[in-house]
Structure 1
Amino acid sequence: MDLSGIKGVIFDLDGTLVESSLNFSQMREDIGCPQDEDILTFIDNMVCEQEKAKANHAILQHELTDAQNAKWLPLGKQMVDKVLENNLPIAIVTRNCREASAIKIANNRIPIEFVLTREDAPTKPDPTALLHIAQHWQLQPEDCLYVGDFIYDQLAAENAGMQWLLV
């Protein structure tokens, strides 16, 4: 990971810093979401509040179960250590819920306190969370690096005008 010219680094959580065994096919099936549709968008577009609440609860249960078993990915730990060695500000932006994110971070002693979840900002690929962090750090987006493992991470970084690294 090249940090030349980088003034702040934001990481995705699942698949980037920690392993994840979320079964998205099963999650979609459990809530009646088509396999080719984004789960969170599907839930947001539900009209019936009772069905929306049931779907959110089902997703939460999957996330909390996954959180209990999530372990540091060796590359993720190496990247975080490198950022910390370079004394750069560091944060996490994840589509996970706050509760599951907190469990993963605490269980693995991930030394990152600035965490934005789907409860804090629109979900990736929307750039809002990334831009909020850059603004908080008083940095230009192009001086920040977003590191992730999925196309939504790349799109969020591009939408924010940030550099990105796909792992």
Structure 2
Amino acid sequence: MVTEIQSTTQTLYDQDYYLWLRTTINQLRAGQFSSVDLDNLTEELENMGRSEKRAVKSLLIRLFEHLLKLTYWDVERERNEGHWKGEIRTFRREIKDQLKDSPSLKPYILEIFDTCYQEGRAEASDRSKLPIDKFPIALIGSLEQILDENWFPEYNHNHHGKAD
């Protein structure tokens, strides 16, 4: 009987994910643990964790990209400043929301912080068509600073942000 139920839920998982999800939730709430499709449920939970990590990594890269464009891309600053600041505010809020919901992500963010900054530099260079060396190699701020809604990197006049 258990094999038959597992076979049915496996088929349901493959054919109608949303119905499988609702069925699994109902089984758990009803205490029907022997009926739960544990293999797929475990995999889904693992995927959720990976998804959270990917989302916060993407947000961090985008935040760095926009902070760098705002600070070093002189030619476009006046025209795009409002848009970039709006994006920065959104990315900051979304990262803070992720950390509020999952405080255990903070060590992960610190682990990927440098890499995300370098990826943000590359994105800023690609999108601005400025050489990557127009954006500083060294981190522009700490995690606390980049998440602070009132903080922006100081403009360094040695980097003009203009295409050569």
TM-score greater than 0.5 by the shorter chain: no
Higher relative contact order (CA 8 A, sep 6+): 1
Q: Which has the higher strand share?
A: 1
Q: What is the TM-score of this pair, normalised by structure 1?
A: 0.25
Q: Which has the higher helix share?
A: 2
The structure that has the greater radius of gyration is 2
